[in-house]
Amino acid sequence: MRTLRPLSLLAALSLTLGCQDPLDAPSTDAGSVAPTDHGAAPTDAQGLTGDATPGDAGDPLATENAPLTYTPEGCMHRVSSLPGTINNVLGNRTVFGPMPEPRNVHTSWPAEPSTTVAIAWQTDNQTRASVVQLGTSPTMLDQTAVGSVSTGGRGNTEVTIHEAHLCGLRPDTTYHYRVGGEGHWSAVQRFKTAPAPGRTDYDVNFVVSGDSRDNFTTWRQVQERVVMGAQQPDFQIFSGDAVLLGTLQGAWQQWFTGAAASQAVMPWMMAHGNHDALAINYLLQFAQPQVDAPEQSELYFSFDYGPVHFLFLNDTPLRDDYAGNVAGTQLTWMRADLTRARANRARVPFIVAVHHKPCFASSRHSSTTDTVFIRTTWAPVFDEFGVDLVLNGHEHDFELSKELDGRGQEVSGRRGTRYIVAAGAGAQLYELQDGMPRSWSAYYESVVNFLRVHATMTRLEVTPFRLDGTIIDRGRVTLTPRPM
Ligand SMILES: [Fe+2]
Ligand SMILES: [Fe+2]
């Protein structure tokens, strides 16, 4: 069973003392999040789908507190409840607690983005009903699915999340949906599926933001800016550090409120940041692909979206196990994934990695031990497999690197990798570490920012924006496919 790293006493003290970034030198204090003792409402088995494997059916509480694994109806992927969670109930349509109105409703991709989606939302811990109504018109939600619910954390970290996985969707199609159950529906929101694999006429747009952390006013303004204009992004990537500390559910509530404008209309995919702290709150609230390594499920994964292969990595491993994880299991998985992606370049020409701590940046963390470890471990692999672009957070600023080899030396002719820090969407901005950019830097600006990226089979265009909507012109970059 996976153990989750809660806030250590040392980190908590650092936070109350106002330390700038206490989790940048994470503690080694590990422990498990124990189940809490809740009254449990009876289950309603009528909506069960797939091959659910709950515990002893004779005792409702034992059943609900047992782990849950199931294959959602029509899906190829399995879904497992997170270790340490309770109230694991699948398929309920009718049980509502005192605060059943769905909050923080949002979508993500747990599997192939052209045909699947996961919808997640929060309620009180007694609501079991997990119903989704879906359709291609906002006034005709003619498909129904029923998902599962889980509760994690305890005390003021407790969070109850419903999650429904839908499969067999039509590619490149806008779907409208609402969630909850009869009498307690959310507003109607929407998302668009990815274009079908194997096309040549891709026209893909996505947004990148990161490090909202502790200024949710700026965060909301960034997200309102993201959805302005005629060109709506297809989805958004977040580069980590959503909140000051991932176990603080009150902060998550503010984060979701700030993100509501864009989460209502597009899926999000998250890279885990050190401040997210591997908290059960982070892991529960975002339904992401579950890979075979149980300790890293939903933390590293990959998927193709149109002309781009995305590789999401976690650079804040459990118990700070950099050798066993960053340089071990995750590195092995990454190399296998990149081997497949490189062989598929004719169909999917661009490879984009996303993780939190940048290998090559010029600000506060550029010489810290964890950064140096990631730089020396992952950058040579990005170089070896021809990763085109690496998107990062952690440094609260914007920075574009030169075209670099695995040691940070400038190269040319589309032989290298570009690194972009897109962070500071609320967190206090950072200045240059030594008063000047490092040798690998092409452009740096200490400014609230986000990226718009446009991708076709022949171009990957990155345009960084300031909060006021102006373009960071010297940070723009256009990549063409590598010569094969
Ligand atoms: Fe940060
Ligand atoms: Fe960070």
Domain that holds residue 445: 204-479
Residue 197: inside a domain, yes or no? no
Statement to judge: residues 329 and 422 lie in one domain: yes
**Listed residues 192, 224, 247: the one ending a domain:** 192
In angstroms, what is the span from residue 23 Cα to ligand 1's centroid?
A: 9
**Beta bridge partner(s), residue 31:** none
Residue 199: inside a domain, yes or no? no
Statement to judge: residues 139 and 241 lie in one domain: no
In angstroms, what is the span from residue 24 Cα to ligand 1's centroid?
A: 8
The edge-to-edge listing of strands for the beta sheet with 477-479 is 268-270, 235-238, 204-209, 449-455, 460-466, 477-479
DSSP letter string, 218-244: HHHHHHHHHT-SS---SEEEE-S--BS
DSSP code of residue 9:
H
Which pLDDT score is estimated for 60? 66
* Calpha distance 300→272 (Å, rounded): 9
In angstroms, what is the span from residue 241 Cα to ligand 1's centroid?
A: 5
Q: Which ligand is nearest to the CA of 210?
A: 1
Q: Which ligand is nearest to the CA of 424?
A: 1
Pairing of strands 308-312, 350-354: parallel
Q: Which ligand is nearest to the CA of 358?
A: 2
Which pLDDT score is estimated for 156? 85
Q: Which ligand is nearest to the CA of 423?
A: 1
Statement to judge: residues 182 and 290 lie in one domain: no
In angstroms, what is the span from residue 313 Cα to ligand 2's centroid?
A: 14
In angstroms, what is the span from residue 244 Cα to ligand 2's centroid?
A: 9
In angstroms, what is the span from residue 395 Cα to ligand 2's centroid?
A: 7
Which pLDDT score is estimated for 63? 79
Q: Note residues around ion ligand 2 (Cβ under 5 angstroms).
A: 241, 273-274, 394
Which pLDDT score is estimated for 58? 59
**Listed residues 163, 192, 221: the one ending a domain:** 192
Which pLDDT score is estimated for 230? 76
* Calpha distance 397→366 (Å, rounded): 13
In angstroms, what is the span from residue 270 Cα to ligand 1's centroid?
A: 14
* Calpha distance 335→312 (Å, rounded): 13
In angstroms, what is the span from residue 36 Cα to ligand 1's centroid?
A: 31
Q: Which ligand is nearest to the CA of 26?
A: 2
Statement to judge: residues 358 and 464 lie in one domain: yes
Helices (H), 348-475: 369-385
In angstroms, what is the span from residue 371 Cα to ligand 1's centroid?
A: 13
Statement to judge: residues 316 and 420 lie in one domain: yes
In angstroms, what is the span from residue 212 Cα to ligand 1's centroid?
A: 8
Which pLDDT score is estimated for 47? 31
**Listed residues 192, 225, 253: the one ending a domain:** 192
Which pLDDT score is estimated for 81? 92
Statement to judge: residues 231 and 267 lie in one domain: yes
In angstroms, what is the span from residue 429 Cα to ligand 2's centroid?
A: 12
In angstroms, what is the span from residue 8 Cα to ligand 2's centroid?
A: 17
Which pLDDT score is estimated for 214? 82
pLDDT tens-digit map of 86-127? 999 999 999 999 999 999 999 999 999 999 999 999 999 999
In angstroms, what is the span from residue 52 Cα to ligand 1's centroid?
A: 39
In angstroms, what is the span from residue 23 Cα to ligand 2's centroid?
A: 8
Which pLDDT score is estimated for 231? 81
Query: What does the pLDDT profile of the chain (484 residues) look like in tens digits?
Result: 333 333 332 233 233 222 334 444 333 222 222 222 222 333 333 333 334 444 444 576 777 889 999 999 999 999 999 988 999 999 999 999 999 999 999 999 999 999 999 999 999 999 999 999 999 999 999 999 999 999 999 888 999 999 999 999 999 999 999 999 999 999 999 999 999 999 999 999 999 999 999 899 999 999 999 999 878 999 999 999 999 999 999 999 999 999 999 999 999 999 999 999 999 999 999 999 987 666 668 999 999 999 999 999 999 998 899 999 999 999 999 999 999 999 999 999 999 999 999 999 999 999 999 999 999 999 999 999 999 999 999 999 999 999 999 999 999 988 999 999 999 999 999 999 989 999 999 999 999 999 999 999 999 999 999 999 999 999 999 999 998 7
| Cβ atoms 67, 152 nearer than 8 A | no
Statement to judge: residues 290 and 371 lie in one domain: yes
CA distances from 61 to 46, 56, 64, 100, 444 (A): 18, 9, 5, 20, 55
* Calpha distance 9→7 (Å, rounded): 7
In angstroms, what is the span from residue 397 Cα to ligand 2's centroid?
A: 12
Which pLDDT score is estimated for 291? 74
In angstroms, what is the span from residue 445 Cα to ligand 2's centroid?
A: 18
Q: Whole-model pTM above 0.85?
A: yes
Helices (H), 92-187: none
Residue 149: inside a domain, yes or no? yes
Statement to judge: residues 99 and 149 lie in one domain: yes
Residue 302: inside a domain, yes or no? yes
CATH number at residue 250: 3.60.21.10
Residue 119: inside a domain, yes or no? yes
Statement to judge: residues 309 and 161 lie in one domain: no
Which pLDDT score is estimated for 15? 31
Number of independent structural domains in the chain: 2
In angstroms, what is the span from residue 94 Cα to ligand 2's centroid?
A: 41
In angstroms, what is the span from residue 197 Cα to ligand 1's centroid?
A: 35
Residue 260: inside a domain, yes or no? yes
Residue 86: inside a domain, yes or no? yes
Statement to judge: residues 220 and 340 lie in one domain: yes
Q: Which ligand is nearest to the CA of 274?
A: 2
Which pLDDT score is estimated for 65? 87
Q: Which ligand is nearest to the CA of 276?
A: 2
pLDDT tens-digit map of 420-477? 999 999 999 999 998 999 999 999 999 999 999 999 999 999 999 999 999 999 999 9
CA distances from 235 to 193, 204, 205, 242, 472 (A): 9, 9, 7, 17, 21
Statement to judge: residues 171 and 232 lie in one domain: no
Statement to judge: residues 187 and 254 lie in one domain: no
Residue 15: inside a domain, yes or no? no
CATH number at residue 65: 2.60.40.380
In angstroms, what is the span from residue 81 Cα to ligand 1's centroid?
A: 28
In angstroms, what is the span from residue 237 Cα to ligand 1's centroid?
A: 15
